[in-house]
Structure 1
């Protein structure tokens, strides 16, 4: 299941490779020689990588809802762990197709977001954990999956040694739990998807740049295709990109729709620029 779904995340790597070639054609020089184009590509990869994580997070909510999966603990934490599970490499990936780069971008996005919030402003009663905690959860699960490969990453974010000790068992438990609860709903090799996931784009207004980035990357379509052919969905679902009035993403059970807000892409653009200052 994880290997099939990470193909949607790997579509981002394919897109970034195409974007690099396009930039070279436009500017008439090799990508490495065009610092501005290279920086824009890194920023777009950061934005889209975070959107991949958000999509898998929201689809985690959809799985819980559609399949009535048991959730012991806070659902927001559980679906963060679901997204991390899907994007944790199983080994053997080359550098350009390693989905862990998406997780690392997501982790950095949460750390950057945490810098905008003072301690006194944290809403401890919220259904989501604090941004830093969500970042460290990704770091722990990624480190736990392969301590040798991700040891430098764990050191970079200052994951405490005491926390590292429990990460391998935590990563194993997370992986095993999601496989166990989701496996009955995964299509067999000879099964055809009973339902499919459609993608729609709403009017963008002032967020045309964000809408165009999503459409040109075909990222939503890649995720929808992989999820469609992986799960035995009980009804048709939609991934709807639209202007929402806030930087957010939602799973709407009544509408059977994952909503991705153009404003969220704008926020990730600002977070990327924030890290560069």
Structure 2
């Protein structure tokens, strides 16, 4: 897989250096696999500075999933305030808007930067599902959100469908089954066409001056040191303000929109509130993303149970042909870390 990716990049006359290296503890887990093997070289640290490498990868993971969440909630805002027609579940539509928007704003980035950013979103959903399965918590089949594993496959499908040649490495029998992959390019074009239609119908016309301040961002002071650290990551990236300006200048919102970062206590969530035209992002959700990024580092013994790891690293890790999950339990710390399910 890694060498096919290198071939794709080199075919565009871009230099690439292939580094095969263990990620700190010598074991790769699902969340680390795409981020470590495909991460931009500037995110890599030398062997004697592995701690910094992990912090950089955690930083990328948190910001990528924040971007997806923010654009997902913008999807709800578009559907509500612009009265967009929706056939099917609104949550599915919001997910598609988020991924299409992410692919659009990052289409000119080098693959070394774009791929790990997009895969961070997919791997978060896979990890959420993996942890639910280990805790034996029942899936809410009645919920208006898709199951985490379904959202994982939907994200991967749209990413692959955006450019099957570049993202050919995503397709295998476990990560993206062939039966789904054959329709992914159509699914991507369908979603892209829908978002383009919304922009044409509800965007600014030629000669009109977009109101770049139509979407405002505010940050309340976090209650703890972790929240302050994560707020620093968010503000230093400038990503939230950039996405706010892009949405404000692309769509003619009938009223001002607010993006508020707040302390939510026990709730690790983000949500669109239609009566007040507000997107709320909880600092606790950023902390949840950080825990999802840390999980593989704290549980390297489970690496061989992840299908993608077994496919590509089975021999190097000495994985048995089929490792049973029977009787396996998570430690108390991990259970506490993932006990709260986000409402995204």
Q: TM-score, normalised by structure 1?
A: 0.83
Alignment pair present for 1:224 and 2:244: yes
Paired residue for 2:220?
202
**Structure 1 residue 230: deviation in Å?**
1.7
Alignment pair present for 1:252 and 2:273: yes
Q: Give the unaligned 5+ runs of structure 2.
A: 1-39, 300-344
**Structure 1 residue 157: deviation in Å?**
4.9
Contact 1:247-1:263 at 8 Å conserved across structures:
yes
Alignment pair present for 1:65 and 2:58: no
Q: Deviations over 1:180-232 (max 9, x none)?
A: 23321122353222451111111311222222222232222121122222221
3-state SS in 1 of match to 2:271: strand
Query: How many residues were matched structurally?
Result: 251
Mapped to 1, the partners of 2:163 and 2:287 lie a distance apart of 33
Alignment pair present for 1:171 and 2:185: no
Contact 1:50-1:106 at 8 Å conserved across structures:
yes
**Structure 1 residue 239: deviation in Å?**
0.6
Q: 1:104-115 maps to which residues of 2 (within 5 A)? A: 104-115=119-130
Q: Which has the larger radius of gyration?
A: 2
Paired residue for 2:67?
52
Contact 1:84-1:141 at 8 Å conserved across structures:
yes
Alignment pair present for 1:275 and 2:299: no
Larger relative helix fraction: 1
Q: Give the unaligned 5+ runs of structure 1.
A: 1-16, 22-29
RMSD of the alignment, in Å?
2.4
Q: TM-score, normalised by structure 2?
A: 0.67
Contact 2:129-2:148 at 8 Å conserved across structures:
yes
Q: Deviations over 1:23-81 (max 9, x none)?
A: xxxxxxx9656332222111111100000000100000000011011110000001101
Mapped to 1, the partners of 2:241 and 2:173 lie a distance apart of 34
Q: 1:178-189 maps to which residues of 2 (within 5 A)? A: 178-189=195-206
Which residue of the other structure, out of 117, 124, 131, is the alignment partner of 1:102? 117
Which residue of the other structure, out of 137, 141, 144, is the alignment partner of 2:158? 141
